[in-house]
Chains A and B, each alone.
Chain A
Amino acid sequence: MSQQTPERAWGYAAEFTTPAAITAAAKQVAAAGYRWWDCHTPFPVHGLDTAMGIKPTILPIIVFFGGLTGMMLAAFLQIFTNSLQVDLWAIVPVIGYQFEVSGKPLISGPAFIPVLFELTVLLSALTTVGAMLLLNGLPRLYHPVLKSPKLARITDDRFFLVIESRDPEFADKKTLAFLESLDPVSVVELES
């Protein structure tokens, strides 16, 4: 943000009171060609993401690979520790062991399935949360939207549409007038 002049606002926030109002406003903002803008709502408003033109997230694909990793890890863990006699060097020497139990085959597929399943689910779940937070840029200690006390009702009962000044379409007066034309309850200037 170093190229910004100090008097320039970080962005403007328009306040709405109903999900219907912000959905209607979001459609107009998307149509006007803005790119660096967002809606802040107390709960996920149904259909607002499509109205804003948000593309489907790649999260499920990442999670698939997370689950695959878990499954392969479990297979490796079980076969190494119970079926093979090979040495690994992981900080200390680690030696596999050939467990022979009640005449079962060394690589006993069915008996290995429960752990295979559990680790698949575990790594998928951890990937889901980790990737979701990473893609969202969270955790985050500071954000201009959190700074203004007027926007504290985002987590309560108000709906805010924010256009950032870094948007190429952003022009101080024009954007302000545009937001006013969307029929909000109020428009708030945000400091960075």
Chain B
Amino acid sequence: MMTTIPVDNTIEDPRRRSPLVLGHVEFGTVTEEICRVNEAPKPPKAWYVSLVISALAAGMLLVMIGYLILTGVGVWGNNNPVMWGFPIVNFVFWVGIGHAGTLISAILFLFRQKWRTSINRFAEAMTIFAVICAGTFPGIHIGRVWLAYWLFPIPNQMDLWPQFRSPLLWDVFAVGTYFTVSLIFWYVGMVPDLATLRDRSNTKIKAIAYGIFALGWRGSMRHWHRYERAYLLLAALATPLVLSVHSVVSFDFAVSQVPGWHTTIFPPYFVAGAIFSGFAMVMTLAIPAREIWGLKNFITMRHLENMNKIILVTGTMVGYAYGTEFFIAWYSGELYEKFAFVNRAFGQYAWAYWIMVSCNVAIPQLFWFKKVRTSIWIMFIVSLLVNVGMWFERFVIVVTSLAQDFLPSSWGYFTPTWVDVCTFIGSFGLFMTLFLLFIRYLPVLAISEIKGVMPAADPHAEHHEPVDTLGQEVQE
């Protein structure tokens, strides 16, 4: 039964654990309710509508890339001095989005944050799709797309190798490793749930398709033992990896000499911003998904509230970084550095700077209030605004520093063209198309992990504590 029970599990009571799964006491009903997303004969109307829109936008991305390849990078607004316009802004934006998925799946796993179980699967999916979008941009930004393989150390007839002292090459390895590790982490986590879908499938095609990807998983405890160890190792490997990826991305800027980029604060500042924007994107996706597919028993208000708290913390860290940048620019006594920051806030791109500050620093402060943290509409709007703010952060960093660096004679201004804008919108189409297909055809929540955090999963409860219909322990 799809029941939404008005239980407030956001109350902090140190004497008892708040339930992470509402409305279920038995494992069977959990399987039933989650698999309904995949097994319903017809997905909701909203799914069709959004899939059509997203697929059209993704098609537009393909057309734009085709146009770019046939015509040349002149179709973009990139100019001299702003060589890195929209493509790099979008690349950093999308890579950043991905970070929340790995943070939820790896770092929260190591910290034994059990509430991660309801959100990790689609946060990881979001990571994969965001990194796909991110990878597109540097790929097409290189100009001669057909030579993209020059990025990799492949023996070639010219006897030339990539230059390993360049942060741009570190990026190739960092993003490539990040994508691969995120993908296998996501897939390994999904194997037991694919086996669930395989065992429940009602048609031969489904049974074979899920069966192949479930790898013959049979829930053997001897397998679980190694599986859990492997999962722990992957989490331990992904944790430094996620911190390194955006650090390496920030080296692209920090290792250069450009005023406003050449700062040591960049790696931690980029990582905090990445997690901040990623959580905002998780919220943007989770809020409609739990409404449309009725997953409110698993993605509860407590989960949303916890994520809002993380948005508040990381948003404040980002605000602190903005402040520190200004302080160091002044404290360094360096003319160009001082100019770069004053110019950001009051120069020709001041509008972008203040959009960034208000969306990233001011608005998340609303989350100090519990009323706001638990209000669906306000948190949805805030999450959208944070996405906007974080995109503008990358815009401010990339464009303002390049447009006006050292010599006033070489200053310029960047204006995006319609191709820039359509490519950016198209990347959202690609992202959403992949995400909607994922929701329909793959286990959207980590079914086996959710069962593991239910009170009934505790093998030491031999006397079987009395539980009420909400899955909460009855208090005597």
Partner-B contacts on A (CB < 8 A): 18-20, 22-24, 26, 38-49, 52, 54, 56-57, 59-60, 63, 77-78, 81-82, 90, 92, 94-97, 99, 101, 104, 108, 111-112, 114-115, 117-119, 121-122, 124-126, 128-129, 131-133, 135-136, 138-143, 145-146, 152-157
Contacts and interface: CB of A to CB of B under 8 A. Distances in A.
How many residues of B sit at the interface, in one of the four size bands?
A: 35 or more
B8 interface: no
B144 interface: no
A38 B457 CA distance: 19
Contact of B459 (A45, A59, A122, A138): A45
B233 A154 contact: no
Interface in B442-476: 448-449, 451-452, 456-462, 464
A145 B251 CA distance: 52
A145 B153 contact: no
A160 B216 CA distance: 17
B180 A146 contact: no
Main secondary structure of the interface of B (DSSP, over half): helix
Contacts of B226: 57, 59, 132, 135-136
B26 A157 contact: yes
Contacts of B237: 121, 124-125, 128
Given A95-B159, A146-B218, 18 more contacts: A20-B458, A20-B464, A24-B462, A38-B221, A40-B219, A42-B448, A42-B451, A43-B451, A44-B227, A46-B452, A112-B164, A115-B169, A115-B170, A118-B174, A125-B185, A129-B234, A152-B199, A155-B200
B234 A44 contact: no
Nearest to A38: B220
Contact of A44 (B170, B217, B228): B228
Contacts of A141: 216
B293 interface: no
A90 B155 CA distance: 10
Given A139-B215, A141-B216, A57 B229 contact: yes
A133 B195 CA distance: 15
A126 B160 CA distance: 29
Contact of B177 (A38, A122, A140): A122
Given A81-B153, A112-B164, A115-B164, A132 B230 contact: yes
B195 to A, nearest CB: 5
Nearest to A51: B459
A38 B174 contact: no
Given A42-B451, A146-B218, A157 B233 contact: no
Nearest to B245: A118
A153 B196 CA distance: 8
Interface of B: 26-28, 31, 153, 155, 159-167, 169-170, 173-174, 176-177, 180-181, 184-185, 188, 192, 195-196, 198-200, 215-230, 233-234, 237-238, 240-241, 244, 248, 251, 448-449, 451-452, 456-462, 464
Contact of B244 (A40, A42, A95, A114): A114
A49 B192 CA distance: 17
B462 A20 contact: yes
A138 B223 contact: yes
Nearest first, the 9 A-B pairs at minimum CB distance are A140-B216, A157-B27, A139-B215, A81-B161, A132-B230, A157-B28, A114-B170, A39-B221, A19-B459
A142 B180 contact: no
B332 to A, nearest CB: 23
Contact of A142 (B176, B216, B240): B216
B337 to A, nearest CB: 21
A97 B164 CA distance: 11
A143 B31 CA distance: 23
Q: Which of B27, B240, B458, B459 has the most CB of A within 10 A?
A: B459
B87 to A, nearest CB: 22
A154 B177 CA distance: 35
Contacts of A132: 188, 226-227, 229-230
A181 B457 CA distance: 24
Contacts of A44: 221, 224-225, 227-228, 448, 452
B220 A156 contact: no
14 contacts: A38-B220, A40-B219, A42-B448, A45-B224, A57-B225, A82-B164, A97-B160, A97-B161, A112-B164, A119-B177, A124-B233, A136-B226, A142-B216, A157-B451
